[in-house]
């Protein structure tokens, strides 16, 4: 089954707010095969981002982070992510998990539309930048079982 290629839907930003332009990307099936940035992601930076509270991952997920005393248990353990998913699947999961599962509680990290009552501090901005997403994808790909 050949999946439709959806490009640039995210560029239609609401007017007025100082919205940040998101880069366009193509969804193929359940994945975004191409990186969002030209430079490759950096796995070490990705790990640091995942365990940092402000990235919000460990609010819900646990993972192979022995130095983190507090981890969430609302979501699957991240260990083995790189064996379970391809790079492109992980990218779409981070960019907009709701495309994979409309009822998911996992936030869409690279999306600014379709959200309600976003606080002024965060309005018009994605949770993570394209570079940060690539770093995290690179890190998750190293988590093999």
Partner 1 sequence: MRPFGAIAAALLTASAVCAAEIPQADRRSGYSFMKADTKAMQDEDTANPGMLWVLDGEALWKRKLGAANKACADCHGDARTSMKGIAARYPAFDKAAGRPIDLEQRINSCRSNHQQATPLPFESRELLALTAFVSRQSQGTPIETGADPQLAPFIARGGERYMQRQGQLNLACANCHDDNWDKKLVGSAITQGHPTGYPLYRLEWQSLGSLQRRLRACITGIRAQAYDYGAPELVELELYLMSRARGMAMEAPGVRP
Residues at the site binding partner 1, with contacts judged by CB under 8 A: 53, 56, 58-60, 69-74, 98, 102-103, 105, 107-108, 115-122, 125, 127
Beta-bridge partner residues of 31: 28
Which residues from 119-138 bind ligand HEC, rule CB under 6 A? 136
30, 42, 84, 131: which one binds ligand HEC (CB under 6 A): 84
Beta-bridge partner residues of 6: 27
* 4 alpha carbon, distance to own chain's centre: 21
**Which candidate, 125, 117, 97, places its Cα nearest to that of 18?**
125
26, 56, 68, 129: which one binds ligand HEC (CB under 6 A): 56
Q: How far is the CB of 94 from partner 1 (least distance, A)?
A: 14
Q: Which does 129 bind (CB under 5 to 8 A by kind): ligand HEC, partner 1, none?
A: none
Look at strands 6-7 and 26-27 and give their pairing.
antiparallel
The radius of gyration of the chain's CA atoms, rounded to the nearest angstrom, is 15
76 contributes a contact to ligand HEC by CB under 6 A? yes
């Amino acid at each position: 089954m050949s999946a439709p290629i959806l490009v640039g839907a995210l560029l239609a930003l609401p007017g007025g707010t100082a919205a940040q332009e998101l880069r366009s990307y193509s969804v193929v099936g359940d994945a975004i095969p191409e990186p969002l940035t030209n430079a490759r992601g950096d796995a070490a930076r990705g790990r640091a981002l995942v365990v940092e509270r402000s990235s919000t991952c460990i609010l819900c997920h646990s993972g192979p982070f022995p130095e983190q005393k507090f981890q969430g248990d609302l979501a699957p353990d991240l260990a083995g992510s790189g064996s379970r998913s391809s790079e492109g699947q992980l990218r779409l999961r981070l960019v907009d998990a709701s495309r994979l599962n409309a009822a998911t509680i996992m936030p869409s990290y690279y999306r600014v539309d379709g959200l309600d009552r976003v606080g002024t501090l965060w309005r018009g901005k994605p949770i993570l930048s394209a570079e940060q997403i690539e770093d995290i994808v690179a890190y998750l790909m190293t988590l093999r079982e």
